[in-house]
Amino acid sequence: MRILVDAGNTATKWQLRHGDAAIDGGQGDLQALRAWLSVLDSTHHYEVAVSCVRDDVYASELRDAFDSLNAGQIQFASSSAMFAGVRNAYEEPHRLGVDRWLALLATKARGEDSAVIIDVGTACTIDVLENGQHQGGYIFPGVALARDALLANTDKIWFSEAPEPSTSLGTDTAGCVLSGAWLTLLAACQHVIARYPYATVYLTGGSAAELVALGLAGQRVDGLVFDGLDFWLNGG
């Protein structure tokens, strides 16, 4: 059995897989991960693979969390120049965020050679794969980050309640700020998709559902990083 860990900037998620199926999992802080690990059957042997975009201190704490489990060497995924026929666009391949690299590998695992991958969370990342070649991507603020930047850097923009996601014209300050953020996000995604009309579009991340509701077309996929991590662990 395999334990996959996705340590993102704002949340850590984990999954237990047997064969092709995810049979358990969760998310939270390191304490929650340790609690989950403590109830696993310690007589089993587990392969462990980690995607971590946080610092070395957090990575070390992740390693320590597995001390009580019968696990083999914990493998931390890293971005490379090429894997399973997917070529990295970065001149320094290791500098591509490992979560973005694994998402690209996940599309390869699904049989895709051309894809637009949109991951909408704290930040929004867009990566383009064309005939197995990563073309590059974009990174810009997610909706909450854009809102917080306006609140932090202006004196007269403030609000305590966030309206529902919308791209309609706002009729109060909160509505204007949030509609502006959603419109920026939606328009950017639609622009990139229009440039690659033959590519399959994958949407993932915490705000993917809202973008779909606002009219963005694509396949919504949860756990794309997990799929890429499992593909990487199995050697492609």
Q: Looking at the annotation, which residues are catalytic?
A: 99
**Quick one: DSSP state of residue 122?**
S
Phi first, then psi: give them for residue 213, nearest 5 degrees. Answer: -65, -30
C-alpha–C-alpha distance, residues 118 and 128, integer Å? 9
Angle in degrees, CA 227, 228, 231, rounded to 5: 90
Neighbours of 59 (CB within 10 A): 16
Helices 143-153 and 173-195: angle between axes, nearest 10 degrees: 140
Query: Distance of CA 125 to CAs 120, 133, 177, 234, Å?
Result: 7, 17, 21, 26
**Quick one: DSSP state of residue 80?**
-
Q: Which residues have C-beta within 8 Å of that of residue 69, sequence separation ≥ 6?
A: 37, 40, 42, 46
